[in-house]
Amino acid sequence: MDRSRAGRRSKVEENVGRLLLRGSHAFNAELVARLHAGGYPDIRPVHSSVLAHIDIGGPGTRPTVLAQRAGITKQAMGELVADLEALGYVARRTDPTDRRARLVSLTLRGRRQLAEALVAIESIEARYAELLGAEDLQRLRSGIERILDDRDQTVREPERPRLGSSRVHTGSSGTTEPANR
């Protein structure tokens, strides 16, 4: 019985999704450690949710876009942006095309940290190439890219009801009826 339970645990713990997640965490932890050693001791792993998704070279990126790219809520993104702004890595300003919206962009400190991060990433990937071999690393990269491309083409986020909607979902048939019956 113990063998069966251990076998099930192993399948759960070592499925491809979990391995990808663990690999991502390991990569991010190594990157953050290198950034700390490079003079950015206040960077935390969670900051990658913002820093990895800001458009470079443009006017900035809206927080809603950052949240969508990172797969987190707008509220969580707002907290991370505020934290990075307080640390001097990003700045928020009004979007000139829509005065109601804000844009997030890298500050000089943020651009310097990005340059350091790119050097660290290159070094980490070189170490992975030594560990796996360049061909296996390229196959790994290509495989992950195919999985992500397939996901982008096949998975649609469920539509969320809008606040103030006068229609409600009433059953498994997919029909809706007015809320005030």
Backbone angles phi, psi at 62, to 5 degrees: -70, 145
Place of tokens 């932890």: 29
- The residue with tokens 């702004």 is 85
- Assign residue 130 the CATH number of its domain: 1.10.10.10
In a domain, 67, yes or no: yes
- Structural domain contains residue 159: no
Position 163 in a domain? no
Compute the average pLDDT of residues 83-95. 97
In order of 58, 75, 104, the CA distances from 113 in angstroms are 18, 25, 16
* pTM score of the predicted model: 0.74
Please provide the average confidence, as pLDDT, over all residues in the chain: 86
In a domain, 30, yes or no: yes
In-domain check, residue 179: no
Domain that holds residue 97: 13-154
Domain count, the chain: 1
pLDDT above 70 coverage of the chain, percent: 78
DSSP-assigned states of every residue in 97-158: TEEEEEEEEE-HHHHHHHHHHHHHHHHHHHHHHHHH-HHHHHHHHHHHHHHHHHHHHH--PP
> pLDDT at residue 71 above 80?
yes
What pLDDT shows up at residue 160?
A: 53
Any domain includes 160: no
Structural domain includes residue 6: no
pLDDT in tens, 30-70: 999 999 999 999 999 999 999 999 999 889 999 999 999 99
User: How many C-beta atoms surround the C-beta of residue 80 within 10 A?
Assistant: 24
